Amino acid sequence: MTSRRPTMQTTLAAAVTLEGVGAHSGRAARLVLAPAEAGSGIVFTRFGGVDGLRAEAHNVSSTELCVRLGSGAASISTIEHLMAALRGLCVDNVAIDVDGPEIPAMDGSAAAFVAAIDEAGIVRLAAPRRSIEIRAPVRVADGAAWAELSPAPSGFSLDVEISYAAAPIGRQRRRLRLTPARFRAEIARARTFGFLSDAERLWREGRALGASLDNTIVITEGRALNPQGLRFADEFVRHKMLDVLGDLALAGAPIIGAFRSYRGGHSLNLALVETLLATPAAFAFVGGEERPRPRAPARPCAPR
């Protein structure tokens, strides 16, 4: 079922810095993405901190509106778009220092993170990549919403469907076989979205303080308020695909298999990862050396 040709791990060729405002905290934030050794994975550290947080499902403390790792002063929020960029471009090992509680929203998509990774460059390391090969279907559901992973001969594919009563979203479905080129062209630029009617409630709760037309598609009365309009006619489902990539990356390794969901979100995606990792018969580690920690597997990249 798996390719016999080994695929090597990657990291960044140089460090790169990004600055912006957190969508929920409204606070300015700076982060530095730096090269890391083979086998280290994606690790987040608050500036001045000592202990890093591995980007893995067991470190997730919240999935409400965004994904947060850790808790209290050691937490990092809104990691999903950055994680999607790293997984979409097949970057395995990065040390991430964050000056603040939240990854900056940038333009609400993964485009700025892709540009930063391109600026830094990607290099192969002298160690094979370990992937998670799906051997049996795994499914989770919450009412009408559901998500599943199933076996595939090679690579990783996405099939995501959303359904909203409000225009201009409605019901949208998109399928994609993931490669770095297709991620760049079809997914990376899709922005997060929200409804103007929800804004006042979120502000009262101390959230969405940094959200604006510069980083969010704002919907009201059946249309997007953003002067530039949509980047894609189905930008909403494309952004959900972006979130899926970031969430599944928290399994800790690329996945070889097929993902499908209907009306999914962060909570359902993470529940699927946790269910997968708790079902040893549903997957196997392939390529590379298995670490002694059993809770760290995740999603697929095309061979480079």
Which residues are the active-site residues?
A: 266
Please give the single-letter amino acid code of residue 31.
L
Q: Are strands 156-163 and 255-262 parallel, antiparallel or unpaired?
A: parallel
- The continuous run of DSSP H or E covering 130 comes out as none
Q: Look at phi and psi of residue 222 and say left if phi exceeds 0, alpha if psi is from -120 to 50, else beta.
A: left
Taking the C-alpha atoms of residue 73 and residue 41, their distance in angstroms, rounded to an integer, is: 22
Paired residues of 151 in beta bridges: none
Paired residues of 149 in beta bridges: 138, 259
Q: What is the largest CA-CA distance in the chain?
A: 55
DSSP assignment of 2-46 equals --SS--EEEEESS-EEEEEE-TTT--EEEEEEEE--TT--EEEEE
The pair of structure tokens assigned to 141 is 């559901």
Contact criterion met (CB below 8 Å) for 39 and 93 = yes
Return the number of other C-beta atoms located less than 10 Å from residue 153's C-beta.
10
Smallest CA-to-CA distance from 76 within 92, 93, 95 is with 95
Contact criterion met (CB below 8 Å) for 12 and 117 = yes
